[in-house]
Amino acid sequence: AAIKEITKQRNTAAIYISHDLAVVAQLADRIMVLRYGNLVEEGMAREILDDPKEEYTRQLLSVRKLREEKHQTSKDRSVLLEVQNVSASYTKGIKVVDNINLKINRRRTVAVVGESGSGKTSLARVITGLLPPLGGKIIFDGQELAPSLKSREHESLRRLQMIYQMPDVALNPRQKVGKILGRPLSFYFDMTGKEREDRIIELLEMTELPEEFVDRYPPELSGGEKQRICIARALAANPDLIICDEVTSALDQLVAEEILKLL
């Protein structure tokens, strides 16, 4: 890594703060593992990575290992979403999505992979109606969706949710978390009073957040906490399909694993 070479050349020290152990393993000579503000374990990087002494460190390292996932079998594997010959552009003459075809079956997870600028987020925006396509069709559960989000039916909006890559711009900084999570409950299910309050607490618990966050504002939260609020908001709609735009990039590995299990 470039930063490691620079520190060696200049004979300087560096403190690298991260939740990504894959990156830390490449950069660090020594590792300090923190949890809830307390030092859990400290030592030479190779010792920590090869022979961790504390259970929390072992858990962090275990989620790095590639392992076979066990999927539940389901009789219903019908097509839920179909993208047919879709193209889209932000400016004339430059297509950010060009003649894409895609099928997603129920109870399946499909990964759209590509480098930055390859059109992954743009495709997600087309599917959700945020970027009307130049041509092609978006078919959801057998019915063609309107190209624009504003023209889609109420139930279609509920059933198809998106979690954005950057939570800072996805959350209203002037609204408390309770109001942010309460809005989809009211909008989609007409929930009010104690029923809505109980569901908000349940959503916080599902995403590993404390109950007192109900009265917090987004600027008071960390990047990972804000992303979990975005995830909770999407789950509040009880959708059939969630489009996740790099949703775990701001989360530490243990929380990221739990969120992926939940989704």
Q: pTM for the whole thing?
A: 0.69
**Are 146 and 202 found together in one domain?**
no
The residues, any chain, with a CB within 8 Å of residue 62's CB and separated by 6 or more, are: none
Query: Residue 251: which of 232, 223, 210, 220 has the closest Cα?
Result: 223
The amino acid at residue 189 is: F
Q: Has residue 67 been placed in a domain?
A: no
**Are 127 and 54 found together in one domain?**
no
The amino acid at residue 52 is: P
Q: Has residue 197 been placed in a domain?
A: yes
**Which residue would you say has higher pLDDT here, 195 or 50?**
195
Given a cut of 80, is residue 233 above it in pLDDT? yes
Query: What region does 71 belong to: left with phi over 0, alpha with psi -120 to 50, or beta?
Result: beta
pLDDT value, residue 66? 43
The first and second tokens of residue 126, run together, are 């087309």
Model confidence at 257, pLDDT cuts 50, 70, 90, reads confident
Q: Has residue 70 been placed in a domain?
A: no
**Are 214 and 192 found together in one domain?**
yes
What is residue 25's three-state secondary structure? helix
Q: Do 81 and 103 touch, CB atoms closer than 8 A?
A: yes
**Are 204 and 181 found together in one domain?**
yes
**Are 126 and 225 found together in one domain?**
no
pLDDT tens digit string along 99-146?
A: 899 999 988 888 887 777 888 999 999 999 999 999 999 999 999 999
The first and second tokens of residue 192, run together, are 């009010």
Q: Do 122 and 97 touch, CB atoms closer than 8 A?
A: yes
Q: Has residue 165 been placed in a domain?
A: yes
Q: Please identify, among 28, 62, 96, the residue that sits at the C-terminal boundary of a domain.
A: 62
> Cα angle at 186 between 180 and 189, to 5 degrees?
130
**Are 15 and 88 found together in one domain?**
no
The first and second tokens of residue 36, run together, are 């809830």
Q: Has residue 218 been placed in a domain?
A: yes
**Are 131 and 157 found together in one domain?**
no
- Going by their DSSP bridges, the two strands 94-105 and 135-140 should be labelled as unpaired
Q: Has residue 22 been placed in a domain?
A: yes
DSSP string, 206-244: HTT--GGGGG--GGGS-HHHHHHHHHHHHHHT--SEEEE
Q: Please identify, among 125, 152, 179, the residue that sits at the C-terminal boundary of a domain.
A: 152
Domains: count for the chain: 3
Q: Give residue 20's domain range.
A: 2-62
**Are 160 and 242 found together in one domain?**
yes
Query: Residue 241: which of 187, 162, 188, 167 has the closest Cα?
Result: 162
Q: Has residue 210 been placed in a domain?
A: yes
